[in-house]
Amino acid sequence: MAQDATQRWNRTEGVLVAPGSTPDDVAARLRERAVVARLEWYPASAHLLSITLLSDAEGRVAVTPPSRGGVVPGMGVSELAEGLARELGADATIGPASFDALPEDVELPEVSAGPSPMSRTVVVSPLSAYMVPLQATLLERPLAVASAPGIDRRIVMYSGEGAELGAFGWDDESLPAIIFRVDERDMTVRAVLTGESEDDAVYSWSMTSRYVWGGVEEPGPALSALVNEMLTDSTDASLIARAVPDADVEAATAALAVEGVEGLAQMLAALGLPAWVESVLTGRLAPVEVPGVVVHEPRGLSNAVGRSVGLMLADPSVPGSAFWQSYVRAVTETPWLVRAGAALEAGLGGALIGAAIRRRGRTGRLPGGLIAVGVLLMVDAVAETSLASWTRHKELRRRADEEMALVAEELGA
């Protein structure tokens, strides 16, 4: 019997913009009509409600009958939308039906869908550390990054308004990712598994949910079973846990049932994240105060590329990094040797070009091979000199910064 009922009914979603009305007012109007529905809203924008109900193939809304349990077809979706809109002075959209009865002079409060000036965001991702400078430049905002070695993930932090990680798409090496955001309106977690938004798992600890059981105070077994199956949104905690190695799925599931900051804290613990992540999200700790954090400022694309390449080549796990470190030591400690080699290379290139010109004087033909090799050697010598000079300058500045840090530490001690 319950299976037939669920096959006959379709989940129908809508939005109600009702300034001057409260969720209680909306629930009362639905109860008067014996409509079974679920309402959801954020406390900061209670005039904007999500409404979810059931309708059949003929567009009739599920209502509770006066004499028995379960639900039966009632009024049409269009009739319900118009009735709610007129009585509440609202704009109602339910499924395909829409009716606007907002007063002409009404001013709706602005509701921002993106980060607010007070928002704090933490992204947990396998994103390579040397990609963060590029991301900071592309997003035009500072990014603070710390490592979580226990779970082989990078933790990227930023605050306030602006473009977010993922705004220009996600590459495979950055997924799966988890995004935590806390502001004055909301407290959410979103797991990005494939880069396709329909595959995301999203949960909010701030949204209020309320069921309207039609015209009955306490639902019977049949009505409860139907609502649980058709109207309840259940975020799959296993999808969130899947984004972090060795996460505790049972603890993550339990965290979704706990309200407010406590639920957020339990989710962070279930995922095995450092304790300071909660402090950053709740504003008790600034990202720059996190132990071992590195802050990347947006300083232009060429600067970002240089920093990214430097970080990559400094990573011992990257192929070629040992050779690069040897090269850095050579150009820093024996710059004369590099200059001598470049001069020799340029001289050889010039000699080849001179020989080609002399041969042309004798034979009347210019040997293209000698010219090409000579030009290539001269260009490579110039490029090598420039690279060596830039590398030496960067390394000397890095060593000076380290020495200054040591001096400051000794003076502070």
Interval 238-271: pLDDT, tens: 889 988 988 999 999 999 988 889 999 999 999 9
Q: SS3 for 15?
A: strand
At 148, the amino acid letter reads A
Q: SS3 for 364?
A: coil
What token pair was written down for 178?
């988890």
Pick out the chain residues at pLDDT < 50. Answer: 1-6, 302-308, 313, 316-321, 323, 413
What is the Cα 404 distance to its own chain's centre? 37
Return the beta strands (E) in 183-324 as ranges: 187-192, 201-204, 208-213, 294-296
Closest to 62 (Cα-Cα) out of 51, 78, 70, 73: 73
Rounded to an integer, what distance in angstroms lies between the CA atom of residue 372 and that of residue 227?
Answer: 78
Structure confidence by residue, pLDDT tens digits, 78-105: 999 999 999 999 999 999 999 999 988 8
Return the beta strands (E) in 59-151 as ranges: 60-63, 72-76, 91-94, 97-100, 120-125, 143-148
pLDDT of residue 195: 77
What token pair was written down for 106?
């009404």
Phi-psi category of residue 300: left, alpha or beta, with phi > 0 → left and psi -120 to 50 → alpha: left
pLDDT of residue 111: 55
Rounded to an integer, what distance in angstroms lies between the CA atom of residue 391 and that of residue 404?
Answer: 20
Rounded to an integer, what distance in angstroms lies between the CA atom of residue 323 and that of residue 317?
Answer: 12
Beta carbons of 214 and 67 less than 8 angstroms apart: no
pLDDT of residue 413: 47
What token pair was written down for 263?
């639920």
**Residues 6 or more apart whose Cβ sits within 8 Å of residue 377:** 345, 346, 348, 349, 352
Q: Establish whether the linkage from the previous residue to 176 is cis, with ω within 30° of 0.
A: yes
